[in-house]
Structure 1
Amino acid sequence: MSKAKNNKATDNQKAKSSLWAAFLGFFVDMFDVYLPIVALGPAMVYFQPKDLPATVTVTIYYVVFAISLIGRPLGAAIFGHYADKIGRKKTTLISIAGFGVGTLLIGLLPGYEQIGIWAIVLLILLRFVDGIFLGGEYTAASPLAMENSPHEKRGLYSGIILAGFPAAYVSISLVTATVMFFVPIGDASSPYVMWGWRIPFFIGALLAFAYVIYFSKHASESDLWLEGQNENADNKVNAAKEASPLKELFKGESGRNFLQVFVLMSGIWFTFNSIASALPGILTNYLKISGTTVTSGLLIINVILIFTYILGGMISQKVGRKPFLVTMGLITTVIGTVLYFNVIRLAVDNIVLALTIAGIMQVLCMSVWGAVTAYITERFKTGVRASGFGLGYSLAVIIPSCYSFIMLGLANFMPYQYTPVVLLGVGGILTVIGAAWGPETRDVLFHEEGSTSIDQKKLHA
């Protein structure tokens, strides 16, 4: 009995260590993702010619952000393969070190006055490379946390991990606001534009390097993955069969599961980009609302989202992943679009009311993320879980990441500032379709490798 208790205590400790390692990894990941929006956004003039049209300025701003999201699927493919082959832990360490270096190099870049158009080219190129390594972090660390967690707590753990998302935004907003307080921001020659924006990037790089040290000491490799490796070592047929996780991912049941996850995540990414990416740019660069006002409002909203992400994960554990995801998609499609329209309509005349509505909209539409980590990992077996999670999460971002160009196209038929409303509606519809297409996964046992079917007798034994 004492041995059983010790084993349970060890398993609980491993689960908690993996959980916080995944949370911190996602926090550092998203800290670097948000750097161009929060820290570099007010200083983009440093990298580009002056007096550009507003639509071009907004589009460049979006491209710098979105290019790292486009690099993520490539990173997910590369690092997902190695996470399934050499282990979740080693792969996570390599990917985090990589985006730490990339972020540091961005902080050292010269501007347009020094090297001309190459300034923006190098910025975009480094953001793309950063995205490749960023795509490797959650591809390995999130499945590791889910595989080490008790199945009845996967919803909670999923919400906590994804809470690193808004927590990172809050942190980088506070860091940037502090820097702006001590380093004046103004025109193209102001201290913040010339060099102050670099400080948050250096902090992001330091966080990445610190996380490498933390993860190497505190994270344990997945027992499920280790067991699979031991089985393959004893069975050469299985070893040959599992030689290419990516090849296995797109075959048979795994391939069908991937297609369904792709549709679901395309919807969730359209929702994200229309709110978290497009809205700040529309408010500050197009409607000319004070950047300080917008940043402060979004800061408060993201503090609230930290808790609603966790709540979303818990609700999905209570009612089931499928009902939760379908309901969130319907809310986004019907209620979210109406709220978004009114945010834009009211922003110029009553920014406080507009930001309040924006907060309600984000809570209603973005809390869906709380269930994402648990749901995607539950859709794939251990041998392809990291590849399935990474690519299912990342590959779906490619089309939604082109939102800035889609918005320009839609502007031919409607006012530019309202184009994100259409994207939000598309996101909600795809979320409903993707979630309705898939099965319920809440009670899936990871050791049942054949499919996502549930053995209730084993579950309640």
Structure 2
Amino acid sequence: MTALTDSASFEPDADRRKRLRTVVASSLLGTTVEWYDFFLYATAASVVFDRLFFPNQSSFVGTMLSFATFAVGFVVRPIGGVVFGYFGDRIGRKKTLALSMLIMGVATTLMGVLPTTEDVGLLAPILLLLLRIAQGFALGGEWAGAVLLAVEHSPARRRGLFGSIPQVGLALGLALGTGMFALLQVIFDEEQFLSYGWRIAFLVSLVLVIVGLVVRLKVEETPAFREVSELQQRSSAPIKDVFARRHTRSTVLGLLSRWGEGAAFNTWGVFAITYATTQLKFDKVSVLLVVTVAAVVMAVLIPVSGVLVDRVGAQRMYITGIAAYGLAVFPVFALFDTGRLWLFGLGLVLVFGIVHATFYGAQGTLYASLYPTEIRYTGLSVVYQFSGIYASGVTPLILTALIAAASGSPWLACGFLVGTSTISVIATALIREDDLHLSSHRSDTEAAPD
């Protein structure tokens, strides 16, 4: 098995800089477009889909149904992860990533022309569900490939920084999605927005996808995958090898370590929008703008986390950030429940913009370290996408149900979130040095052997 080596060792400086610029642009733009598409649905589920596709339900039931179709995207992502992971480990990262972007762009664009329940009845939510399934399937193959594109091209001593670049795309995608919805609700009155204004945000995806595909097709295949191919060490059954005895520990700990991150993101980036507009009665545009600002702060700070990963290690950065999230949950909800928009904004920027950036910037490099090159695409996909079912997709549903069960009080929901943080901290701390297959610390000059 091959270890991940410094891809720049025997390359002229000018060629290396050009290649790395292309890699960074492809990873960043690609993940931004994919997450913009995916989280457009999350924002729409919070502010519009309950009325257009589930209009005959109570406010609570409509919101739950809207979030249920949101969760379906996470349920199908593991299937996409396994399928794209297989092709990513067999035919390469580049081609697989281009296909995932194309599927995502088509699904999101079609959402922008969907008829509503008023137009075609029950067929409308069924079509919405099918397109959400296509979104989830496509995103299942995106994250791992984008991380590997960056990490496997990176200089050894800047692996943490390069591994954080795809993570910036998530923050920018969320900022663009919420910002677009806020802008459209300012431009149009409520009737216009519900009639056709919301569709513009989805149709814009077509332009973004075309630009993203052009950039992504220019990037070279990663040196690590080329080496595995040349040595004929590609796995014939990557998913089987991921769950083989020698990788079971890494897989289980990876799945558990992500629980806190997935729950945190979908609390602050998705559920908080509904909580603020329904429970706290804040203006929708103001709430969307707050989430946008927090996401922009996160995008700026994620590379800082990547730089720190290169100094102290991905595992230590991830544990620190996840622990800080758990400690912040109760104080942040206390700020929310003051009923003051500026305190809501302060809390969200602190926990989402700053704390989340701390561990999210370390996540890609940490998980890439769990598997050898020949099964790395599938391994990352399994950890990130299978955990997405319980860590991400159902979190808004669980929080909505817990708050309803507590007669509107958020404290039971806060206890659940602290529990996810605790599980993640313990699981990450249990990852051993000999579980890792590449270094993310400047003091380590060589990658661990695969």
Tell me the amino acid that sits aligned with residue 141 of structure 2. Answer: G
Query: Are 1:437 and 2:433 an aligned pair?
Result: no
Deviation at 1:56, TM superposition (A): 1.4
Pairing partner for 2:389 from 382, 393, 398? 398
Query: Are 1:342 and 2:334 an aligned pair?
Result: yes
Structure 1 residues 457 and 376: alpha-carbon distance in aligned structure 2, compared to 1, 3 A threshold? closer
Pairing partner for 2:156 from 151, 157, 162? 151
Pairing partner for 1:323 from 316, 328, 341? 316
Give the distance between the partners of 2:10 and 2:374, measured in 1 at CA. Answer: 30
Give the distance between the partners of 2:308 and 2:34, measured in 1 at CA. Answer: 25
Q: How many residues align?
A: 437
Gaps of 5+ in 1: 233-237, 447-451
Deviation at 1:173, TM superposition (A): 3.1
**Further displaced range: 396-405 or 58-67:** 58-67
- Name the residue aligned to 2:3: none
Give the distance between the partners of 1:292 and 1:308, measured in 2 at CA. Answer: 25
CA contact 2:296–2:353 (8 Å) conserved in 1: no
Deviation at 1:113, TM superposition (A): 0.7
Work out which of the two has the higher radius of gyration on C-alpha atoms and give 1 or 2: 1
Deviation at 1:228, TM superposition (A): 0.9
- Name the residue aligned to 1:273: 266
Tell me the amino acid that sits aligned with residue 282 of structure 2. Answer: I
**Further displaced range: 377-386 or 285-294:** 285-294
Structure 1 residues 71 and 97: alpha-carbon distance in aligned structure 2, compared to 1, 3 A threshold? same
Give the distance between the partners of 1:149 and 1:222, measured in 2 at CA. Answer: 9
- Name the residue aligned to 1:168: 173
Gaps of 5+ in 2: 1-7
Give the distance between the partners of 1:455 and 1:155, measured in 2 at CA. Answer: 13
* Amino-acid identity (%): 22
SS in 2 for 1:197: helix
- Name the residue aligned to 2:137: 132
- Name the residue aligned to 2:5: none
Q: Deviations over 1:240-259 (max 9, x none)?
A: xx211111111122222111
Q: Deviations over 1:46-78 (max 9, x none)?
A: 22224x323213212322333222221111111
CA contact 1:26–1:161 (8 Å) conserved in 2: yes
Give the distance between the partners of 2:444 and 2:212, measured in 1 at CA. Answer: 39
Give the distance between the partners of 1:244 and 1:408, measured in 2 at CA. Answer: 40
Give the distance between the partners of 1:106 and 1:158, measured in 2 at CA. Answer: 31
SS in 2 for 1:395: helix
Q: Deviations over 1:332-352 (max 9, x none)?
A: 222x122232133213xx121
Deviation at 1:364, TM superposition (A): 4.5
Give the distance between the partners of 1:255 and 1:11, measured in 2 at CA. Answer: 36
Normalising by structure 2, report the TM-score. Answer: 0.90
SS in 2 for 1:110: coil
Q: How does 1:82-101 map to 2 (within 5 A)?
A: 82-101=87-106
Query: Are 1:15 and 2:17 an aligned pair?
Result: no
- Name the residue aligned to 2:365: 374
- Name the residue aligned to 2:66: 61
Give the distance between the partners of 1:263 and 1:427, measured in 2 at CA. Answer: 9
Q: Deviations over 1:2-33 (max 9, x none)?
A: x9875344334323322221111110111011
- Name the residue aligned to 2:344: 354
CA contact 1:444–1:453 (8 Å) conserved in 2: no
Give the distance between the partners of 1:420 and 1:14, measured in 2 at CA. Answer: 46
Normalising by structure 1, report the TM-score. Answer: 0.88
- Name the residue aligned to 2:226: 226
CA contact 1:107–1:202 (8 Å) conserved in 2: yes
Tell me the amino acid that sits aligned with residue 366 of structure 1. Answer: H
Structure 1 residues 200 and 215: alpha-carbon distance in aligned structure 2, compared to 1, 3 A threshold? same
Pairing partner for 1:264 from 244, 254, 257? 257
Q: Deviations over 1:59-108 (max 9, x none)?
A: 12322333222221111111001000011111111111111111111111
CA contact 2:154–2:162 (8 Å) conserved in 1: yes
Tell me the amino acid that sits aligned with residue 74 of structure 1. Answer: I
**Further displaced range: 404-413 or 372-381:** 404-413
CA contact 1:407–1:416 (8 Å) conserved in 2: no
Pairing partner for 2:42 from 37, 41, 47? 37
- Spell out structure 1 runs of 4+ moving beyond 6 A: 452-455
